[in-house]
C-alpha cells in the first residue's frame, strides 16, 4: 500500500469516527435521568459457610433439632419397653387361648406402631432441618442485599475456605478446585462479620420460632 493510500484510508476512518460522535443516540439507549444518583460501584465478598455456621439462629435451630431427636429417641425407647414387657407377659397365658391371642394381637399392633413412629421421626427430622436451613439461607440473602443497598455495594461475591488437605481422593480435590469461586480477595472487601453481627442482633430482638412437636397427630 502506498503512502497516499494509507493517508486516504486513515482519513476515511477518522471521518467515520467523527460522524459516529456527531450522530444522535438511539431512542432505545438507557440513560440516567438528570440529577439521579450514580449507580454503586463497590464490590464485596461474603463467606457463606462461615456466616451460616456462626449465626445465633443457626445455633438455636441446631439445639431445637437435637432436642427433637432426643425426644424421638426417648419416645422410641418407651415404646420398645412396652413391647418387651408385653412379650414377656405372653408366658403368663396358654397359647391358643383368647387371652393369649389378645396379647399377641396387641404385641403385633404395638410393634407395627413402633416401626411407623420410627419412620415418622426420621421424616420429621429431615423435613424440619430442610425447612430451617432454607429459611436461614433466605434470611442471609436478604441481609446481604439490604446491607449492600445501604452501603452502596453493587456486587457481592461468595468467598470460601479451600482446604485441599481435606480431600480424600484426586476426584474430590479436583472438584474442590473446580468449584472454587474466588482465588483471592483483600480482607477489606469481606463483609461477613458485618452481616453476622446484624443478623444476630435482629434475631435477638425478633420473635423466635415456635417449638415443634415430636408425636404424630
Dihedral angle, C-alpha 193, 198, 204, 205, nearest 10 °: 170
Tabulate helix, strand, coil % of the chain (nearest 5). 65, 5, 25
Q: Taking the CB of residue 67, how many other CB atoms lie within 10 A of it?
A: 13
According to DSSP, the β-strands at 153-159 and 42-47 are: parallel
pLDDT bin (cut points 50, 70, 90) of residue 55 is very high
Percent of the chain with pLDDT over 90: 53
Q: What is the pLDDT of residue 40?
A: 85
Angle between the 56-89 and 98-150 helix axes, to the nearest 10 degrees?
180
- Residue 17, pLDDT > 80, answer no
User: 48, 182 in Cβ contact below 8 A?
Assistant: no
How far apart, in Å, are the Cα atoms of 160 and each of 47, 53, 190, 199?
5, 13, 11, 20
Task: Name the grid cell of 170.
Answer: 484426586
Q: What is the pLDDT of residue 209?
A: 65
Mean pLDDT along residues 18-41: 56
Structural domains of the chain ordered from first start: 39-205 (3.30.910.20)
Amino acid at each position: 500500500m502506498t503512502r497516499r493510500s494509507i493517508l486516504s484510508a486513515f482519513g476515511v476512518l477518522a471521518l467515520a469516527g467523527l460522524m459516529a460522535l456527531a450522530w444522535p443516540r438511539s431512542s432505545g439507549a438507557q440513560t440516567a435521568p438528570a440529577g439521579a444518583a450514580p449507580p454503586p460501584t463497590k464490590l464485596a465478598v461474603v463467606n457463606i459457610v462461615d456466616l451460616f455456621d456462626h449465626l445465633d439462629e443457626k445455633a438455636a435451630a441446631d439445639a431445637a433439632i437435637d432436642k427433637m431427636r432426643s425426644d424421638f429417641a426417648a419416645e422410641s425407647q418407651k415404646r420398645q419397653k412396652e413391647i418387651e414387657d408385653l412379650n414377656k407377659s405372653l408366658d403368663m397365658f396358654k397359647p391358643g387361648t383368647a387371652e393369649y391371642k389378645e396379647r399377641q394381637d396387641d404385641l403385633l399392633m404395638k410393634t407395627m406402631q413402633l416401626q411407623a413412629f420410627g419412620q415418622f421421626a426420621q421424616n420429621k427430622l429431615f423435613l424440619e432441618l430442610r425447612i430451617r436451613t432454607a429459611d436461614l439461607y433466605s434470611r442471609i440473602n436478604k441481609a446481604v442485599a439490604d446491607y449492600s443497598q445501604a452501603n452502596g455495594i453493587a456486587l457481592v461475591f461468595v468467598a470460601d475456605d479451600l482446604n485441599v488437605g481435606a480431600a480424600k481422593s484426586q476426584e474430590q480435590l479436583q472438584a474442590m478446585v473446580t468449584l472454587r469461586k474466588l482465588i483471592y480477595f483483600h480482607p477489606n472487601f469481606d463483609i461477613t462479620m458485618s452481616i453476622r453481627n446484624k443478623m444476630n442482633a435482629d434475631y435477638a430482638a425478633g420473635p423466635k420460632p415456635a417449638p415443634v412437636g415430636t408425636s404424630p397427630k
